[in-house]
Amino acid sequence: AQSVTQLDSHVSVSEGTPVLLRCNYSSSYSPSLFWYVQHPNKGLQLLLKYTSAATLVKGINGFEAEFKKSETSFHLTKPSAHMSDAAEYFCVVSAPSGYSTLTFGKGTMLLVSP
């Protein structure tokens, strides 16, 4: 069994300040973890993925996430927010390999103000 909890439904930051989107997971195995981003009325785009290699994962657009097994967390960060980062972000957990169904968090809406 697996589940994922995104701790904030909305996060507001100012342009140029750091971004932190929090995600905790639960899994009966060593999972794979993902962050996806969705802009309004669009599909989802993969930001980054963790698959049991390096615990610090770098993704597109300057985002990165750190897998912390002891804390069962996979928080998404970016040093400096840009207006174009405003979107909804989904943390996702799945089995570590092969075809597997994914479990999505409920999403965190990131708002960026000038």
Give the residues lining the site for other proteins (CB under 8 A): 9, 32, 34, 36, 41-46, 49, 51, 90, 94-102, 104-107
Q: 39 or 80, CB closer to other proteins?
A: 39
Q: Can you tell me the distance from the alpha carbon of 108 to that of 10, in angstroms, rounded to the nearest whole number? A: 5
| Distance of alpha carbon 17 from alpha carbon 30, whole angstroms | 33
Smaller CB distance to other proteins: residue 13 or 91?
91
CB of 19 to other proteins, least distance (A): 20
CB atoms within 10 A of CB 23: 25
Beta carbon nearer to other proteins, 51 or 77: 51
What is the Cα–Cα distance from 4 to 50, expressed in whole angstroms?
14
Smallest gap from Cβ 60 to other proteins, in A, equals: 13
Find the shortest distance in angstroms from Cβ 20 to other proteins: 20
CA distance 82 to 34: 21
